[in-house]
């Protein structure tokens, strides 16, 4: 005959499936009359706006590319999309405005990461103020992440410049000069922040098929332009924050070139060379020249 197994007491069964610390906390809660904590609500899926009509700078588009689009609608309650738990550049902007209000009244953010900074844009625009400018140059085509900022937008505090796949360095720099520089000049910030991504480099993708075809020299030129804007409006106040870059070899070269150019731009110019004071020639030299002239029959 098979022996019947004795039922395991409920407490012992629970202890075999839960760590001791959790059971102790539950027992303490029962003794103090604390209710069980409610379960957290399920995460909401990210809200994706519909993809706008494609009109990338550098692509074959009509004159509508040059027109500023309507203001970007704010999207509330968007969940994180897996890349940034904390938005460093937005935090830096808010900190500067709050902690250094006497010196920093307006902040401009230039974002040259390959992907549109939809999180940065939504955060700074949700503040409802006009003292933060966000300007982004980024790749854009259908189904290219994050499928936002796909139309040219030119507003007093928002500049979105979508760029087509394969945009070469000269067209990228031309777009920067045409759209970003005038916006910064008109805004006149007291602090310039860079969302400095290097994933628009031609060798960024693992298979060396970068979406945009920038070179190391392109980032040097961009850095020089940003430093010039900071000198012109911000007294040289510029802060660069590293963003995207997935090919470590390319990332190393681009980051080094960027930092070297920042140091070069920050260095004070050398003092002008003082003119050499005039010193009359020694008497012996004058006598020698006179003797030579006399020997040659020159008067």
Residue 256 CA to residue 47 CA, distance in Å, equals 37
Residues near 269 by beta carbon (within 8 Å), at least 6 away in sequence = none
**Which pLDDT belongs to residue 102?**
95
Residue 173 CA to residue 58 CA, distance in Å, equals 11
**Which pLDDT belongs to residue 2?**
55
**Which pLDDT belongs to residue 291?**
72
Which residues in the chain land under pLDDT 50?
11-19, 43-73
Cis amide bond preceding 146, omega within 30: yes
Residue 263 CA to residue 3 CA, distance in Å, equals 83
**Which pLDDT belongs to residue 234?**
96
**Which pLDDT belongs to residue 16?**
42
**Residue recorded with tokens 């003119």:** 275
162 close to 211: Cβ distance less than 8 angstroms: no
The number of residues in the chain equals 299
Dihedrals phi, psi of 89, to nearest 5 degrees: -70, -35
Q: In terms of DSSP bridges, do strands 107-111 and 132-139 run parallel, antiparallel, or are they unpaired?
A: parallel
**Which pLDDT belongs to residue 277?**
67
What residues are paired with 231 via a beta bridge? none
**Which pLDDT belongs to residue 298?**
60
């Amino acid at each position: 005959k098979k022996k019947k197994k004795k039922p395991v007491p409920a407490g012992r069964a629970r202890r075999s499936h839960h760590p001791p610390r959790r059971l102790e906390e539950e027992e303490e809660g029962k003794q103090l009359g604390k209710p069980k904590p409610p379960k957290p609500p399920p995460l909401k899926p990210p809200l994706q706006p519909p993809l706008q009509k494609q009109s990338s700078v550098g692509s074959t588009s009509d004159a509508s590319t040059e027109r500023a689009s309507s203001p970007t609608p704010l999207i509330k309650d968007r969940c994180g999309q897996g890349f940034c738990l904390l938005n460093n550049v937005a935090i830096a902007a808010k900190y500067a405005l709050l902690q250094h209000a006497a010196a920093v009244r307006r902040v401009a953010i230039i974002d040259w990461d390959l992907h549109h900074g939809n999180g940065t844009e939504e955060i700074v625009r949700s503040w409802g103020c006009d003292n933060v400018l966000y300007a982004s140059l980024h790749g854009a085509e259908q189904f290219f992440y994050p499928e936002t900022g796909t139309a040219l937008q030119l507003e007093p505090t928002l500049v979105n410049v979508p760029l087509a796949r394969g945009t070469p360095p000269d067209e990228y720099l031309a777009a920067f000069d045409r759209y970003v520089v005038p916006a910064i000049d008109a805004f006149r910030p007291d602090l310039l922040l860079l969302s400095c991504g290097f994933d628009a480099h031609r060798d960024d993708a693992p298979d060396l098929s970068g979406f945009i075809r920038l070179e190391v020299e392109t980032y040097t030129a961009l850095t020089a332009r940003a430093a010039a804007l900071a000198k012109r409006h911000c007294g040289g106040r510029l802060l660069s924050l590293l963003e995207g870059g997935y090919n470590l070899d390319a990332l190393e070269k681009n980051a080094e070139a960027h930092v070297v150019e920042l140091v070069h731009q920050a260095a004070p110019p050398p003092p002008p060379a003082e003119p050499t004071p005039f010193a009359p020639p020694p008497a012996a030299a004058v006598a020698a020249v006179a003797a030579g002239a006399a020997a040659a029959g020159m008067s």
